[in-house]
Amino acid sequence: MEGERRIMSLLLETVILQRNLDKMIANLETELSAARMLQESFLNGSPVSEGHKASESMGRQKYFMVIGINTAFSSRKRRDSIRNTWMPQGLKRRKLEEEKGIVIRFVIGHSAISGGIVDRAIKAEERKHGDFMRLDHVEGYLELSGKTKTYFATAVSLWDADFYVKVDDDVHVNIEVL
């Protein structure tokens, strides 16, 4: 009887320690993802425009709002619809960032098979449009809450903004009223 209690106590301690370690690992993965995105951003030409005054607290550009549009590999038509309606392209998007302080990016991670055909398709789309925020996150319907958490952590690390917004790619935003 005493031995069984001791075993159960050790088992409970192990479960609690495992949960704490899982939480710590998840937090570290989020921080690592944000740091990688920041590093990649600087290596590929920072998404922070030169036109805004620097934030006094961190010496970074100050923005009004960052809008992350959650999307999936299979949602190309939705992304094209957004590009053709409310999301400015090219110089117009840069002007929106510089003059109104509104940053807009499609948010997507990577496939479970890194470098697979869907990852290559997104890379090609990114080269064409330049409107993605790639997350260090495996895409999947059951992973949406983790994707959202990673998006916010990454967005905060990349841009100093008053507001951070997440919408899905089936939502159309009226940018004119912002």
Domain total in the chain: 1
Question: Rounded to whole angstroms, how far apart are CA atoms 1 and 22?
Answer: 32
Would residue 155 count as lying in a domain?
yes
Q: Using one digit for the tens of pLDDT, what is the confidence trace for 81-137? A: 999 999 999 999 999 999 999 999 999 999 988 788 999 999 999 999 999 999 988
What confidence score (pLDDT) does residue 5 get? 84
Q: Which two tokens stand for residue 104?
A: 């807009």
Residue count (the chain): 178
Q: Using one digit for the tens of pLDDT, what is the confidence trace for 131-161?
A: 999 998 899 888 889 999 999 999 999 999 9
- Please indicate, yes or no, if residue 5 is contained in any of the structural domains: no
Domain assignment of residue 159, given as a range: 38-177
d(Cα 46, Cα 6) in Å, to the nearest integer? 56
pLDDT of res. 54: 38
Instruction: For residue 39, give both structure tokens.
Output: 């590093």
Does 158 map to a domain? yes
For residue 41, what pLDDT band results from cuts at 50, 70 and 90?
A: low
Lowest-confidence segment of 20-29, 32-41, 90-99 by average pLDDT: 32-41
